[in-house]
Each structure stands twice: as structure tokens, then as C-alpha cells.
Amino acid sequence: MDGIEAIIEHILADAREKAAQIEAVAAEQVAQIVSETEKACALIREEASRKAAQAAATVINRANSQAALESRRILLEARQELIDEVILSATRQLGELSEVEKKDLYVQMAQDTGGSGGVLTVNAADQAMMPAVLAALGQGWELAPQPGSFSGGIVVSRGRIQENLTFDLLVRNLRPQLAALAAGILFTDAG
């Protein structure tokens, strides 16, 4: 049995040697695979980090743009409110003209219509000064029996034709020019 045992021992020794070689090759392959995998993971992490930085920069840029737009919108709204207040104040100031100033303005407005007579309608508050306006205009002009329901100014009627020269309508018709003028005065960076 010594011979058989020697053969078995020789076969086992060869098998152990081959197993050790296979293990060594496998260990090298495992080490190479681990090294390549670690390199691939590092590249993936770098790419993910780069993409995350790009995405963050994009989000920050978008947020900055949105903030700038919102800021501009708020500034424009505030400016528009201020312009509206200025125009409203100017309209109120027209209504608060002294009786002499208002009389002269109404006479000029009526004369600028180009007619030599007509019926003038004014609001109830201005009716008391109308005799002076009619006297300044001369013959052919008369006061409407009913006052108008507007804040100030006049309506000139000649037959079926009416020329509306009320402050409200004049301001509304001139609003774009008044807004541009007010913006130019209020805001040095406007225009």
C-alpha cells in the first residue's frame, strides 16, 4: 500500500500545487478586478460630483435670475403706484384750483373748442362761479340746468355734439404722456 499511498500522495501534492497556482491566479485577478472597480468607482464619483456641482450652479443661476426678475417686478409695481399717486394728486389739484384760476381755465377751455357759443355743463361745486365764466365768454354761452356728475372741468354742448373736457377724461386721455413725464421727473434712470 505504500506504493498506492505514494501515488495518492503525489496526486494530492500535484493537486495542492495546482490549487495554489489557481488560487494565486485568482487572487491576482481579484486584485486586478478590485483595482479596476475602485478606479471606475472613483471616476463615477468624480463625474457625479462634477454633475452635482453643475446642477447646483444651474439651480443657483436660475434662483438668482428669478430673484432679479421678482425684484424688478416689485420695483416696477412700486414705481407704477407712485406714478398713479402723482397723477391722482394732479387731478385732485385741478379740482382744488382757486375760483379765479378755475374760471380762467374754463374760459380758455371753452374758447379752445373753436365755437362762439354753447351750453356748458359743470359739476355742482363749480356752478356758483359760472356767471363769471359766462360773462367772460360773452354772448351765445349758457349754463346747463343740471350739473354733471364728474369731479371737475366742463362739457361743451352744441346741439347733439358734446365735447367732454372734464378733468377725469383729460387725465385718462393724457395718461401715457403724464406717466412718462412723471417717471422722467421721479426716476432718473427711467427712459
SS3 state at 118? strand
pLDDT of residue 145: 93
pLDDT tens digits for range 45-79? 998 889 988 988 999 999 899 999 998 899 888 88
Higher-scoring residue by pLDDT: 3, 110: 110
Flag whether pLDDT at 108 surpasses 50. yes
| Strand-pair category, 153-158 with 161-166 | antiparallel
Asked if residue 134 lies in contact with residue 103, where contact means CB atoms within 8 angstroms, the answer is no
Q: Where are the domains of the chain?
A: 1-96, 97-186
User: How is the beta sheet containing 141-143 ordered, strand by strand?
Assistant: 141-143, 118-121, 153-158, 161-166
CATH number of 97-186: 3.30.2320.30
Using one digit for the tens of pLDDT, what is the confidence trace for 126-184?
Answer: 999 999 999 999 899 999 999 999 888 999 999 899 999 998 888 888 888 878 887 78
**103 — phi, psi (to 5°)?**
-60, -50
Which of 22-31, 92-101, 131-140 has maximum average pLDDT? 131-140
Amino acid identity for residue 186 in this structure: L
- CB hemisphere CA count around 135 (13 angstroms): 5
Q: For the chain, first and last CA: distance in Å?
A: 114
What is the overall mean pLDDT for the chain? 86
